[in-house]
Amino acid sequence: MKYKNLLVWMAAVGIFLAAGTFFYYFGRPTPLEMREEIYPCVVYYRRVHTQPRLMIAHIVTVDLSCENITTVITPPEKGDKENPLRARTTSQFASEFGTQVAINGDGFTPWWSNTPWDYYPRPGEAVSPNGFAASGRKEYGSRDADEITLFINERGEASFGTPVGKIYNAISGTNWLVHERQVIEDLNDTRKAPRTAVGLDGPGTRLILIVVDGRQPFYSEGATIAETAELMLTYGGDNAILLDGGGSSTLVIDWPGEGQKVMNSPIDRYLPGRERAVGNHLGILAKP
């Protein structure tokens, strides 16, 4: 009888553990490595790192020189210079503007997250980017001599800091990660968090987008800023900047024949899989 009770107890524990594992990972992308060219000149990678801790990185490389590739930055609202953006999740941005790839962009204000019901912004509420931006020649935000901006013109020519020709699309970040193939020194922030970064290869023709999941024990704990810089260098970013991170970090891809998917596991207000409404975004239009 004792042996039978032990078997029943072990079976119950097994079912409990299996159910717990299922619900913990439910809704999160499977933590398996993959590589796929989803559109001509657009390649998606998922990489699972175990050192220095468990960390899932999502990488998209885009050949800007291809004729089927164009970029989109969230446009400003007319007539509102103080808060020129209306907050959207990255999925909402991708759906509204028909992008095949989209990531969150610059930091923004106002923002707070005090409780699950006391937070700002909700989708549609007014915000302002922390740095300079442009969308199809429509400029918004403030230009600061110290900020780092990615410029992409109508011909797909990209550069950091100084635009090639007239300003067309632009989005800013918080700081350099990599400059001229050198990881920036004194990136001393030791916090492990979700991260979003954008980089360019040496010639400036290959765009590298990285989103790292974080704040999710046993799935992905996140990266420090210095580790994000090392990741960018590893995946081909000779120059790169950090975009908004934390609960904002999101990557959305419209898969051919399958539709739109959130490729990472965003975590807004401590809820895995919940997207945050953010200010602006960087999108890729890729014709098949």
One pLDDT digit (tens) per residue for the chain, 288 residues: 555 555 545 544 444 333 344 444 556 999 999 999 999 999 999 999 999 999 999 999 999 999 999 999 999 999 888 999 999 999 999 999 999 999 999 999 999 999 889 999 999 999 999 999 999 999 999 887 677 999 999 999 999 999 999 999 999 999 999 999 999 998 977 899 999 999 999 999 999 999 999 999 999 999 999 999 999 999 999 999 999 999 999 999 999 999 999 999 999 998 999 999 999 999 999 988
Asked if 67 and 171 sit in the same domain, the reply is: yes
Domain hosting residue 19, numbered range: 1-30
Asked if 50 and 156 sit in the same domain, the reply is: yes
Asked if 202 and 259 sit in the same domain, the reply is: yes
Asked if 235 and 271 sit in the same domain, the reply is: yes
* Predicted local distance difference test score (pLDDT) of residue 22: 40
The CA distance from 163 to 144, in Å, is 14
Asked if 164 and 274 sit in the same domain, the reply is: yes
Name the pTM for this structure: 0.90
The CA distance from 207 to 227, in Å, is 19
Asked if 74 and 116 sit in the same domain, the reply is: yes
Asked if 154 and 209 sit in the same domain, the reply is: yes
Overall domain count for the chain: 2
* Predicted local distance difference test score (pLDDT) of residue 189: 79
Asked if 164 and 253 sit in the same domain, the reply is: yes
Asked if 204 and 236 sit in the same domain, the reply is: yes
Strands 42-49 and 55-63, by their bridges, are antiparallel
Asked if 75 and 210 sit in the same domain, the reply is: yes
Asked if 75 and 9 sit in the same domain, the reply is: no
Q: How many residues does the chain have?
A: 288
* Predicted local distance difference test score (pLDDT) of residue 147: 78
Asked if 23 and 92 sit in the same domain, the reply is: no
